[in-house]
A and B are shown apart, each in its own frame.
Chain A
Amino acid sequence: MGTTRHRSATRGRAWTGGLLVAALSHLTLTHAAAADSERIAVLEQKLDQSLQTIQELSARVHDLEVQVAQGAPAAANKPPGRTAAAAPAATIPSDTAQRLARVEQTVTQMAASAGQHAEGSGLPLHGFADVGVGNHNATFSQYQGANVGTLEFFLTPRLGSRTRALFELNFEVGSDGTVGVDLERAQIGYQFSDSATVWLGRFHTPYGYYNTAFHHGQQIATSLRRPRFIDFEDHGGIMPAHSVGMWLTGSERIGDEKLTYDAYIGNSQRITGGILDMNNAGNTHGSTIVGGNLGLLLSGALDGLKIGVDAFQTRIEDQDQAPSYFSQVKSFGAYASYDTDNWENIAEFHVFNNQDLTGHTGTHRSEAGFVQIGYRTGRYTPYARYERGAFQQSDPFFAAQTSGSSYYRDALGLRFDVDLVSALKLELAQTHLTDRVIGSYDEALIQYAIRF
C-alpha cells in the first residue's frame, strides 16, 4: 500500500514536473516565436520602406533623365563607341548633373544591397517532370492508360572559376512499373579555356547529335519521346547512351564558323538482363569504349545548321551467357541539325560493323537512323519523324538485347507550349516490328512535360 502511495506520489510529482517543463517550454517557445514574429515584422517593415524609397528614387531618376533628354536631344546622336558617360556630361546643366549623380549613387547603393539575389545561392537546382496518357505507354508498349514518366533533378553547383559539375538524378518508372532512381549523369570537369573542357564521371556518350543535345527531361525536346534506337539503355535503346570515363570537349571558331569536337574513353559496357549497362563501378576485364565526334556550326545564310560525323569502338560483354560472350562494336555516324527560330530539323544515321569475338560468326553490318522535321509557329510546333533500325539478328550484340529487333516507326506530333516552362504534346505513331517479332501497333499519346 505504502509502495502504492509512494508510486502515486512519484507519478504525481512526475506529472507536475512534466507539466511545469511543458509549460516552461511552451512559454519559452511562445516567447521565442513572438520575438521572431516581432523581428520579422520589423524587418518586413524596413524592407517595405527600403523598396518604397528605391521606387521613389528610381522614379525621380527617370524624371531627371527625361528632363535631361528633353533639354539635350543632341546627346542621343553621339557616334557609336563613344564613351557613354562623357556625352551627356557635356550637355547636362551642372546642378542637374550633380543632383542626378547623387540620386543615382543613392539608388545604386540601395539596389546593390537589395540586389544580392542576383548572385545566386551557389547551388542552382533545376528539375524536369512529365506525365502522360495513351493507348500505349510511350516507352513500354505493353502498358496502356495513364503513366508517370520521369521526375529528375539537375544540380549545377557554382564552383571555382574553372571547375564545373553536373549531376542528374532521375526518378523514373521502369519496365516492371516500379519507380527506380538513377544517377544519370555525374560529371566533374575542369575548363582549360573556352575551347577545352575535360570531364570525369558518367556522361552522355557524345555520338551523333541527339544524345548530347537532349537528356531525360522531355520538356526541352520538341517530340514526345526519343527515337527508339537512341533511347536510354533501360528504355529500349540499343546504343551505349551513357559512358563512365573521361571526356574532352570544346569548340573553336574558324572564321565565322565554329568547329566542335569530342573525344572520350571509358569503361566498355556490358549486357545484363537483356539491357546495356554502362559499368558504373568499372569492369572486370579492362576493356574500353573509345570514340570521337566532330561537328561544324555554319553561319551566314546557313546559320543554325550543324553537320558532323562520329565514331566509337567498344567491346561488349554479354553476361547473360555462360560463359560470357564478347562482341566488338564499331559505330560510324553522320548527322545534321537545323535549329532556327522556326525550324528544328534533325537527321542522324549510324552504321554498325560488329564482330563476334566468341561465337566466331564473323562480322555483321546493321544500320539505324531517323529524320525529324519540326516547325515552330507561335506556341505550336507540329513535327514529323521517321525512324528505322535494321539490326542483324545473327549479331550477338543485337540478339542479346531485349530491344534489339529491327523496326521502323512513323510519327506525327504537335507540341503546344503552355508557357515557357511547360508543354503539352500529342503524338500519333505507327510502329512496325520486322524480324524477331513480326507485327505493328498504333499509338495515340499525350504528354504534359514541365521544367522548373
Chain B
Amino acid sequence: MIRSSAKLLLTVLLCAGCAVARAADLYLICNSGVSLGASDVRDLFLGEKQFAGELRLVPVDNSAAQNVFLERVLKMNVAKYSTTWTKKSFRDGINPPLVTGSDAEALAYVKRTPGACSYVGTANTAGVRVVSTL
C-alpha cells in the first residue's frame, strides 16, 4: 500500500515537473534592435502590427515550435491560423510570416535580420532579445 502510494506520488511529481518544464520552454525572441512588448506579439503574428517605430517588423514562424506557439499565444489551431493569414494576405496585400524549420534556423534568422521576431524552444538565445518566456 505504502509502496503503491509512493509510486503514485512519484508519478504525480514527475508529471508536475514535466508540466512546469513544458510551460517554460517557449521563448519569444526578436532581433536585438527591436523594441517590442509582450502584448504586441499576437498582433505581430497576425499582421496587425508591422512597425516598431520606424522599423519594419519581420515575423518569422518556426515550424519546430509552431503548434505550441499557436496554442499558447494566438489561441488557435494551424488550420485557423492558415485561413486567417490567407484572408489577411489577399485583403491587405501583405505576406504571411516566413517559415524556418528549426530553433537554430529561427535564431540565426532573427540574429541577422533587423526587425525579425520569432519563437524558439531552446533556452540558448544568445545574441537576440527575449521578449517574453512562456
Contact = CB atoms under 8 A, between A and B. Distances in A.
Contacts of B56: 161-162
A161 B132 CA distance: 26
Given A115-B108, A118-B98, A84 B134 contact: no
A33 interface: no
Contacts of B25: 76
A76 B20 contact: yes
A85 B123 contact: yes
Contacts of A168: 90
Contacts of B112: 112
B24 A78 contact: yes
Chain A binding surface, main DSSP class = mixed
Given A85-B124, A112-B109, A112-B112, A69 B21 contact: yes
A129 to B, nearest CB: 14
Interface in B15-36: 17, 20-21, 24-25, 27
Nearest to B112: A112
A111 B108 contact: yes
A152 B49 CA distance: 28
Contacts of B1: none
A164 B50 CA distance: 12
A75 interface: yes
A451 B86 contact: yes
B90 A164 contact: no
Contacts, number: 128
A87 interface: yes
Contacts of A154: 89-90
Nearest to A192: B51
B79 interface: yes
Chain B binding surface, main DSSP class = mixed
Give the interface size class of chain B: 35 or more
Contacts of B99: 118
A80 B134 contact: yes
A341 B77 contact: yes
A446 to B, nearest CB: 21
B24 A76 contact: yes
B62 to A, nearest CB: 10
Given A58-B102, A85-B130, A217 B27 contact: no
B132 A213 contact: no
A75 B79 CA distance: 34
B93 A83 contact: no
B21 A164 contact: no
B129 to A, nearest CB: 9
B130 A77 contact: no
A112 B130 contact: no
Interface stretch (A4-12, A119-127, A271-279, A389-397): A119-127
Interface of B: 17, 20-21, 24-25, 27, 48-51, 56, 60, 76-80, 82-83, 86-87, 89-95, 98-102, 104-105, 107-109, 111-113, 122-126, 130, 132-134
15 contacts: A58-B102, A58-B104, A61-B104, A65-B122, A65-B124, A82-B133, A88-B123, A108-B107, A108-B108, A111-B108, A118-B100, A156-B94, A217-B90, A220-B87, A451-B86
Report, nearest first, the 6 A-B pairs whose CB atoms are least far apart: A166-B93, A112-B108, A161-B56, A76-B21, A115-B105, A111-B105
Interface of A: 58, 61, 65, 69, 73, 75-78, 80-85, 87-88, 100-101, 104, 107-109, 111-112, 114-115, 118-120, 124, 126, 154, 156, 158, 161-162, 164-166, 168, 187, 189, 191, 193-194, 197, 212-215, 217, 220, 251, 258, 341, 417, 420, 451
Given A65-B122, A80-B132, 18 more contacts: A76-B21, A84-B125, A84-B130, A85-B123, A87-B123, A111-B102, A112-B105, A115-B108, A124-B95, A165-B93, A166-B90, A213-B87, A213-B91, A214-B87, A215-B90, A220-B83, A420-B79, A451-B86
